[in-house]
Amino acid sequence: MRFSTLLITLFFAFLNANASSVYDTIIIKTDNSSERITRDLDSLTSTWYVKMAIKDNPGEFQGDTIGLQYPDSVYYTRLSKINSIILLPYNNIIRNHIHVYTIKQREKFCAVLGLKDYYFPMIEDVFDSYGLPAELKYMAVIESALNPGIVNSRSGATGLWQFMYSTGRMYGLTINSVVDERRDPLKATYSAAKYLKDLYKIYNDWTLVIAAYNCGPGNVNKAIKRSGNKKDYWGIYDRLPRETRGYIPQYVAAVYAINYYREHNLVPLPLNIPVATDTIMVNKDIHLTQISEVMGIPLGELRTLNPQYKTGLIPGSSKPFALTLPMNHLGDFIDLNDTIRGYKSDVYLNKSNLIADPSRTSYLPADIKGRTKLNYTVQNGDNLGYISEWYRVGLSELRYWNNISRNTIRVGQKLVIYVDPSRSEYFSKINSMSFADKQMMIGKTVPSNSQSVLAKAPVESEGEFITYTVRYGDTIWDIVKMFDNVTTSQVLALNNISKPGKIQVGQKLKIKKKS
């Protein structure tokens, strides 16, 4: 062995043996910013293209492979091989965020991997035209999980780049009760490029630029002043807002996960987003529902391609606005323009229907205007996944309506659900149906031995372990999500399970209690 090779081998052996002392010294405080990653990834399950992909490719979204963990030296080495003018450090916080993407939320991260092929080329083109580093595109992953329609329910930040109202208006975006261009991926990316360039003029340091984008230059300037005029991120780390302390680690983790997803057995969710789209300027009022019903394009697809129109109305009579369509529909739209505008115009273009309605607030994941409100009482054997299937609503919608952050629900709990009024009578019967009848309603059968299992409490506590009884429909990944102190690999190892897809109804699983 050559001497230089021996030195390298010994160096990485040292790193492995002393991982905590070598890497963790960069940051000594922890943060809970992984909750934001989880929340943003969860929002993807309610988007149209992702919902369609999950429906058509259910196996791609169920985490059917176990997330892989590597020694710290492997993560460190891989990050060092990524070409980036933005520093990509490594420490225990970054490792934890990497695990969120590659282990804890791996199935939802597959949706991000599918979306990146659609959004990244557009972002790269815009950033290149402004002379910005292409790797800033990864910020969109931690800002919104590449979901242009996402709204932060606490701050109101909206869209692919999570612009606040004032910042969006400052950078030329139209924001009102009908149009919100923060949700327009292309226009918002141009505004983000301008903002990032302005921030670089202030700090001349890309890591500080990324931090300032998250918390604002005022907070970064205060942190610099309070830390003795230090002008690097890690030097002012302790003085930054809590969320911003986790922002750079999230960024680095996103860069790593997108560059090395194959090494973690992750596969991009196949999304049927049209590669070829085009825009046409609309100078008269027209509604997306009119276009959908006349041209036979799914309304969900039109809303996804045009997320800036909050109510579905394109108010072209006030000023020209852009409509994005799949390329193969553009010619038909031009030919049918007058027919489309005349279709049910008294319903969709009636001025009295265009007044802003508080129930249509953009903070909701779905439009509940016109829906019927129902109540459901949780019963033995239920979980949120079942309930969302029975009522034909999105899982993230169900969580939002009931202020549920995880998947845990309890027997007797009352849930609010909004359904299509034309089927409200049908859905209203669900609350009094047996579990087997509810499953049959969606085309699933219940094994004969499952009813006795469902009658028992699924969780028992004894000593240092919790015992969980597997219920019909459970997967190992669903079960692990119910507990916030364990990983899939830990549960599999503790219960000597080599084939996670083969767990049985009634099987007892030991789960270590939170220490």
Q: Classify residue 262 by its DSSP letter.
A: G
Domain ranges of the chain: 26-264, 277-360, 372-446, 452-512
**Across the chain, what does the average pLDDT equal?**
81
Q: Classify residue 179 by its DSSP letter.
A: B
Per-residue confidence at 98, pLDDT binned at 50, 70, 90? very high
pLDDT at position 205? 94
pLDDT at position 290? 92
Per-residue confidence at 513, pLDDT binned at 50, 70, 90? confident
pLDDT at position 354? 52
DSSP string, 55-80: HH-GGGGS--SPPP---HHHHHHHHH
pLDDT at position 38? 78
Alpha carbons 144 and 140: distance in angstroms, whole number: 6
Per-residue confidence at 15, pLDDT binned at 50, 70, 90? very low
Report the pLDDT averaged over residues 77-81.
96
Are the folds of 26-264 and 372-446 the same?
no
Report the pLDDT averaged over residues 148-167.
88
pLDDT at position 160? 95
DSSP string, 92-110: HHHHHHHHIIIIITHHHHH
Report the pLDDT averaged over residues 107-113.
91
Alpha carbons 356 and 178: distance in angstroms, whole number: 7
Report the pLDDT averaged over residues 306-331.
91
pLDDT tens string 334-357? 988 888 988 888 888 875 555 443
Per-residue confidence at 156, pLDDT binned at 50, 70, 90? confident
Query: 392 and 419 in contact (C-beta within 8 Å)?
Result: yes
Measuring CA to CA, how many Å separate 384 from each of 240, 371, 428?
Answer: 37, 20, 17
> Which region among 18-32, 294-308, 331-345, 488-502 has the lowest average model confidence (pLDDT)?
18-32
pLDDT at position 271? 87
pLDDT at position 139? 97
Per-residue confidence at 298, pLDDT binned at 50, 70, 90? confident
- CATH numeric code, 26-264: 1.10.530.10
397 vs 300: which has the higher pLDDT: 300
Report the pLDDT averaged over residues 54-74.
71
pLDDT at 487 over 80: no
Per-residue confidence at 13, pLDDT binned at 50, 70, 90? very low
pLDDT tens string 231-250? 889 899 999 998 888 899 99
Report the pLDDT averaged over residues 272-284.
86
pLDDT at position 179? 93
Distance of CA 230 to the CA centre of its chain: 34
Alpha carbons 468 and 511: distance in angstroms, whole number: 7
Backbone angles phi, psi at 119, to 5 degrees: -90, -35
H or E segment to which residue 469 belongs: strand 465-469
pLDDT tens string 386-445? 888 898 887 667 776 776 655 667 778 889 898 888 888 888 889 888 888 888 887 776
Report the pLDDT averaged over residues 192-199.
96
Per-residue confidence at 455, pLDDT binned at 50, 70, 90? very low
pLDDT at 385 over 90: no
Determine whether domain 372-446 maps to CATH 3.40.50.150. no
The set of residues, in sequence order, having a beta carbon less than 8 Å from that of 435 and lying 6+ positions away, is 379, 380, 381, 382, 446, 451, 454, 472
Report the pLDDT averaged over residues 457-483.
71
128 vs 436: which has the higher pLDDT: 128
Report the pLDDT averaged over residues 174-183.
92
Neighbours of 69 (CB within 10 A): 15
Per-residue confidence at 36, pLDDT binned at 50, 70, 90? confident
Count how many residues are written for the chain. 515
pLDDT at position 70? 93
Per-residue confidence at 9, pLDDT binned at 50, 70, 90? very low
pLDDT at position 204? 94
46 vs 101: which has the higher pLDDT: 101
Longest distance between any two alpha carbons in the chain, whole Å: 83
pLDDT at 145 over 80: yes
> Which region among 31-45, 58-72, 164-178, 185-199 has the lowest average model confidence (pLDDT)?
58-72
pLDDT at 495 over 50: yes
Report the pLDDT averaged over residues 456-471.
72
Q: Classify residue 508 by its DSSP letter.
A: E
Neighbours of 324 (CB within 10 A): 19
pLDDT at 365 over 70: no
pLDDT at position 458? 61
Per-residue confidence at 122, pLDDT binned at 50, 70, 90? very high
* CATH architecture label of 452-512: Roll (3.10)
> Which region among 257-261, 312-316, 330-334, 348-352 has the lowest average model confidence (pLDDT)?
348-352
pLDDT at position 3? 38
Amino acid found at 267? V
Query: 45 and 51 in contact (C-beta within 8 Å)?
Result: yes
pLDDT at position 322? 93
Q: Classify residue 506 by its DSSP letter.
A: T
Per-residue confidence at 470, pLDDT binned at 50, 70, 90? confident
